């Protein structure tokens, strides 16, 4: 690949709208810009995925910069695939170089630092992505089928080649259950890199789809009566020496004491941070029972409708401690991977701080339990619309302490505007708007 000195590199941030935005500089300026990055504006955090800008306390005032982190560089020119991508992700900083309160990559970094400082614990994660590809002929009933896979044409292999060229370690690709729905999974990485890769993967899938003359959408749900596009976050914990600590052979279900507290923190705070993981109006069509997403804050074993699931380990092998991990399922791609993972880490950290006991594992269809049975198991139905989820987030002292008032208030203002934009539309119309935006 030959790049000209004037070829552009886009320096980007993944924002509250779940969009990747930035500014481009010529390649020859990279060195000079590596510290100062590009100029950015506080009010940009209020740009919704639909155009209107939510009420911003910053107005036209203020200056920030996005400093590129070149470990995230993507530089691909694959003319046969119609893919030409050159971008790098960065951190939003104040002019004095300190992290900006609404930088989501910074929020994740802060959460991970706290986890390490207070408990000596680090996290690995991998994201499982579902999306729709519009370059195929959708047909119900072809979930997981070779026929659905064949109909994708060269798209699937191209996605694999593009992700591989970008340095991502691909795990699987599948034609998912929904008509024209696909899923891509990648291998586990240290948490910050895992979130970087989640941002990169979505953009590269979009780029690859575009190279076929079509497009891909990561919208949370395309058809109100169908299944959603989930983002499942697989995670495992490690101590200071890199020893896996998620598993304990002598504990019930293999859940170690520390992992149990971490999961308990996630589940206890989940109703307060659902607005972050399911950050769109139609996200709540997906978070309903019997769509294999999650509707309650329950801990399940190999249960695909639990908020956190203990994943199966195949084969009885000696490496079980390294493979044993958990999966968070109540998320979708309307949110930034950084903010999503930051919420999980902050909540897990609170569970460790408070020494919470491992939650009981549910073994039934929790949507069939009565209010009394739910209360007995200390389970809660997750908020059922974005407005109620925002009420919970905004009133949560824990969330305000974890993320800071500035970010919580900005998030709320942004998302309330999004709700207003969707007011009066039918579910079908709302899904159509999001299918375009994501």
Residue with tokens 């579910």: 427
User: Hey, CA dihedral for 84, 332, 101, 195, is it positive or negative?
Assistant: negative
Q: How many residues make contact with ligand GLU (CB under 6 A)?
A: 10
Residue 418 binds Mg ion, judged by CB under 5 A? no
The conformation of residue 244, written as its DSSP 8-state character, comes to: B
* 81-100 residues near ligand GLU, rule: CB under 6 A: none
Smallest separation (angstroms) from ligand GLU to the CB of 232? 6
For ligand GLU, the closer CB: 272 or 327: 327
Residue 226 binds ligand GLU, judged by CB under 6 A? no
For ligand GLU, the closer CB: 143 or 190: 143
Q: Is 8 helix (H, G, I), strand (E, B) or coil?
A: strand
Cβ distance 102 to 405 under 8 Å?
no
Nearest Cα neighbor of 227 from 182, 267, 270 is 182
Torsion from C-alpha of 415, 226, 178, 308, nearest 10 degrees = 60
Residue 292 binds ligand GLU, judged by CB under 6 A? yes
Judged by CB under 6 A, the residue of 226, 230, 271, 300 near ligand GLU is 230
Angle at 173 between CA 168 and CA 176, to 5 degrees: 140
For ligand GLU, the closer CB: 246 or 293: 293
Q: Which does 304 bind (CB under 5 to 8 A by kind): Mg ion, ligand GLU, none?
A: ligand GLU
Tokens of 3: 């790049």
Tokens of 338: 């950084």
Q: Which does 286 bind (CB under 5 to 8 A by kind): Mg ion, ligand GLU, none?
A: ligand GLU
For ligand GLU, the closer CB: 204 or 278: 278
For ligand GLU, the closer CB: 152 or 333: 333
List helix spans (H) across 257-357.
257-277, 283-286, 320-323, 337-353
What is d(CA 55, CA 418) in angstroms, rounded to the nearest whole number? 11
DSSP β-bridge partners for residue 72: none
Residue 234 binds ligand GLU, judged by CB under 6 A? no
Cβ distance 293 to 287 under 8 Å?
yes
Smallest separation (angstroms) from ligand GLU to the CB of 131? 11
What is d(CA 418, CA 422) in angstroms, rounded to the nearest whole number? 6
Smallest separation (angstroms) from ligand GLU to the CB of 277? 11
Residue 180 binds ligand GLU, judged by CB under 6 A? no
Q: Please state the separation of Cα 426 from the chain's center in Å.
A: 26
Contact window for Mg ion (CB under 5 A) among 103-111, 178-186, 259-267, 410-418: 178-186
Q: Please state the separation of Cα 90 from the chain's center in Å.
A: 17
Residues with Cβ < 8 Å from 325, sequence gap 6 or more?
188, 234, 235, 236, 246, 311
Q: Strand 216-217 relative to strand 74-78: parallel, antiparallel, unpaired?
A: unpaired
Smallest separation (angstroms) from ligand GLU to the CB of 426? 21
Residue 304 binds ligand GLU, judged by CB under 6 A? yes
Residues with Cβ < 8 Å from 363, sequence gap 6 or more?
301, 303
Smallest separation (angstroms) from Mg ion to the CB of 74? 25
* 129-148 residues near ligand GLU, rule: CB under 6 A: 130
Smallest separation (angstroms) from ligand GLU to the CB of 1? 35
Smallest separation (angstroms) from ligand GLU to the CB of 250? 30
Contact window for Mg ion (CB under 5 A) among 179-187, 196-204, 294-302, 354-362: 179-187
For Mg ion, the closer CB: 91 or 183: 183
Judged by CB under 5 A, the residue of 183, 196, 197, 248 near Mg ion is 183
Q: Is 55 helix (H, G, I), strand (E, B) or coil?
A: coil
Contact characters 39-78, ligand GLU, x per CB under 6 A: ----------------------------------------
Q: Which helix or strand (DSSP H or E) is residue 122 part of?
A: strand 122-133
Residue 228 binds ligand GLU, judged by CB under 6 A? yes
Smallest separation (angstroms) from ligand GLU to the CB of 373? 24
Smallest separation (angstroms) from Mg ion to the CB of 282? 18
What is d(CA 323, CA 314) in angstroms, rounded to the nearest whole number? 9
For ligand GLU, the closer CB: 252 or 365: 365
Q: Residues, the chain, total?
A: 438
Chain contacts with ligand GLU (rule: CB under 6 A): 130, 227-228, 230, 286, 291-293, 304, 329
């Amino acid at each position: 690949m030959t790049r000209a000195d004037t070829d552009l590199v886009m320096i980007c941030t993944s924002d509250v709208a779940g969009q990747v935005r930035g500014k481009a500089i010529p390649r020859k300026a990279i060195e000079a810009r590596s510290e100062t990055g590009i100029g950015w504006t506080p009010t940009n955090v209020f740009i919704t995925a639909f155009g209107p800008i939510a009420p911003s306390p910053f107005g036209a005032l203020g200056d920030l910069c996005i400093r590129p982190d070149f470990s995230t560089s993507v530089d691909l020119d694959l003319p046969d695939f119609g893919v030409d991508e050159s971008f790098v992700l960065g951190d939003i900083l104040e002019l004095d170089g300190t992290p900006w309160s609404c930088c989501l990559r910074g929020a994740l970094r802060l959460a991970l630092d706290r986890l390490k400082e207070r408990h000596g614990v680090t996290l690995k994660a991998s994201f499982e992505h579902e999306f729709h590809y519009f370059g195929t002929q959708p047909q119900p009933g072809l979930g997981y089928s070779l026929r659905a896979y064949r109909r994708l044409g060269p798209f699937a292999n191209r996605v694999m080649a593009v992700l591989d060229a970008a340095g991502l370690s691909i795990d699987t690709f599948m034609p998912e259950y929904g008509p024209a729905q696909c899923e891509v999974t990648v291998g586990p990485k240290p948490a910050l890199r895992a979130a970087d890769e989640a941002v990169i993967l979505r953009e590269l899938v979009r780029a690859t789809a575009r190279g076929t003359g079509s497009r891909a959408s990561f919208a949370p749900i395309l058809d109100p009566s169908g299944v959603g596009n989930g983002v499942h976050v697989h995670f495992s914990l490690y101590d200071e020496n890199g020893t896996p600590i998620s598993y304990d052979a002598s504990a019930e279900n293999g859940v170690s004491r520390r992992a149990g507290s971490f999961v308990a923190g996630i589940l206890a705070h989940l109703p307060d941070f659902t607005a972050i993981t399911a950050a769109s109006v139609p996200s709540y069509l997906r978070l309903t029972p019997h769509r294999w997403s999650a509707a309650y804050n329950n801990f399940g074993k190999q249960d695909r409708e639990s908020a956190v699931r203990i994943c199966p380990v195949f084969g009885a092998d000696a490496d079980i401690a390294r493979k044993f991990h958990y999966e968070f399922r109540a998320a979708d791609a309307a949110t930034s991977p950084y903010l999503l993972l930051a919420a999980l880490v902050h909540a897990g950290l609170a569970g460790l701080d408070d020494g919470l006991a491992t939650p009981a594992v549910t073994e039934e269809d929790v949507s069939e339990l009565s209010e009394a049975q739910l209360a007995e198991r200390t389970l809660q139905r997750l908020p059922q619309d974005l407005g109620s989820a925002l009420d919970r987030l905004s009133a949560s002292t824990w969330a305000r302490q974890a993320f800071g008032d500035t970010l919580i208030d900005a998030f709320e203002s942004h998302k309330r505007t999004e709700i207003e934009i969707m007011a009066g539309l039918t579910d079908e119309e709302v899904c159509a708007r999001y299918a375009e935006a994501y």
